[in-house]
Amino acid sequence: MSELLSVVIPTHNRPDRLAVAVRSVLDQDYPSIEVVVVDDGSTPATAEMLDKLCSTGDRIVVLRNDQSQGAAAARNSGMTAASGELMGFCDDDDAWLPGAASAAVGALGPDIGIVYGHHQVLIEDTGRLVTFRPPAVANAALMRWINVPAVPCALARRSNVAAELHFDTDLITSEDWDLWLRCAELAPMIMVPTPLYRYVQHRDERVTSRPSDYAERQARFVAKHRSSMTSACIAHHELAIALTARDLGGVGDQIRLLPRHPANLGSAGVLAGEMVASRIGRRREDPGLPLRVAARALARATGTGRTN
C-alpha cells in the first residue's frame, strides 16, 4: 500500500486560482493523496469554491480561520490536521506539475528527511516559462549559508523530521529557509532533477518592500541561527544584509562595497560571484544560476558538500 501524502494549501481570497492548485494535486498519478486546505479568513467566495471542490470527492480536508493568521500559521494548522506520513505544500496560486508526486515520493526513502526538485517560473506579464534548477546537493552546513529548496517544491518524511516540521511565525520572512535548515539537521536532503512545481509570478500581486525592511527580516534569521554558524558564515550574512540595506543599483557599485566590509575574502568572493551570475542567469533564462554558483564556491571554500 502506498504511503499517504498530505499536501497543505493555505488560501486567502483566490477562489479560482485555488481550484487550479487543488486539482493539480488531486490529478497526480500517485494513488494516495489528501489535500488539506486552510481558508485563512477569506470572503465567502472561497468557501463556495471549497464546497464545490469537496463535492467531487472525499480527499479534501478544509480548515477555516475566522481571521487571517498568515501563511506560516496556516501551514502549521494544516500540518497538524494532516494524516499523511509524507508532507508537501502548494500555494493557492501555483500548481504541481504532472508526475511530481510519484517522482518525489519515489526518491523519499525511509532514511531521507526532505526531497526537493526543480521548479518552473511562469511570468504572467509575458507568458514566459523558465526553469529554476537549484544546487544538486544540500545539507545543514550549506543551508546555514544559503537557502536551497523553495517551500512548495519539497516533500518531507514526517517520522524523520517531525521535531522540526513547523514554521516559525515570528520570522515574517525566511520561514521556509529556517524550516528546511532545521529539518536538514535531523535527516538527509536529496534532489530530484526534474521540475515538480509551477510558480506563477503575477503582474498584479508582486510584493514590494523597502530594502531596509528585507534586510531587517533577514537579520532575524541570522540571529536565530547565529550560535550554529561559523564566524565566516556570520560575516557572510552581515555583508549580504549590508548590501541589501544599501539598495545599490549596479553590480559594480555592490562589488566596490565588498572590500569595505569586515567579511573574509571568501565570503566577499561568493557574493561577488553570485551578483555577476544573477545578471548572466537573467540573460540565459536560468534563474537558479546564482544559487548554484554560490553553492559551488561555498563547497570549495568551506567544505559544505559537493555540488553540481
Note whether 182 and 220 are same-domain residues: no
Contact in structure between 26 and 54 (CB atoms under 8 Å): no
Residue count (the chain): 308
Pick from 150, 167, 201: which residue ends a domain? Answer: 201
**Helix (H, G, I), strand (E, B), or coil: what is residue 156?**
strand
pTM of structure: 0.89
Asked if residue 163 and residue 49 are part of one domain, the reply reads yes
232 and 103 inside one domain: no
Domain boundary (145, 173, 201) is at 201
CB atoms within 10 A of CB 92: 25
**Within this chain, do residues 239 and 285 fall inside the same structural domain, yes or no?**
yes
Q: Tell me whether residue 230 is in a domain.
A: yes
Q: Which pLDDT does position 308 carry in this prediction?
A: 41
If asked whether residues 128 and 271 sit together in one domain, one would say no
Ramachandran region, residue 256 (left: φ > 0; alpha: ψ -120 to 50; beta: rest): alpha
In a domain, 292, yes or no: yes
Grid coordinates of 298: 561555498
Residue pointed to by grid coordinates 504541481: 96
Residues 17 and 166 in one domain: yes
Q: Of 214, 273, 277, 269, give the one whose Cα is nearest residue 247.
A: 214
> For residue 267, what is its C-alpha cell?
565570503
Residue 308 falls inside a structural domain: no
Q: Do residue 192 and residue 224 come from a single domain?
A: no
H/E stretch holding 7: strand 5-11
Total domains in the fold of the chain = 2
Does residue 117 sit within a domain? yes
- Give me the numbers of helices (H) and strands (E) for the chain, helices first please: 12, 9
**240 and 161 both lie in a single domain:** no
Are 238 and 154 found together in one domain? no
Residue 168 lies in a domain: yes
| Integer CA distances (angstroms), 45 to 18, 90, 174, in order | 11, 20, 30
**Same domain assignment for residues 12 and 161:** yes
Of 144, 178, 201, the residue at which a domain comes to its end is 201
- In the chain (308 residues long), the average pLDDT of successive 10-residue segments reads 95 96 96 97 96 92 95 96 97 96 96 96 88 94 91 92 96 90 97 95 58 75 94 83 61 46 56 76 86 86 62
Residue 307 in any domain: the answer is: no
Residue 206 lies in a domain: no
Angle at 59 between CA 118 and CA 175, to 5 degrees: 45
Q: CATH code at 188?
A: 3.90.550.10
CA geometry: angle 212, 213, 218, nearest 5 deg: 95
Closest CA to 20 of 57, 51, 49: 49
129, 255: one domain: no
For the beta carbon of residue 28, count every other beta carbon within 10 angstroms: 22
Q: Are 185 and 164 in contact (CB under 8 A)?
A: yes
- Regarding whether 229 and 129 lie in a shared domain, the answer is no
Q: Which domain holds residue 59?
A: 5-201
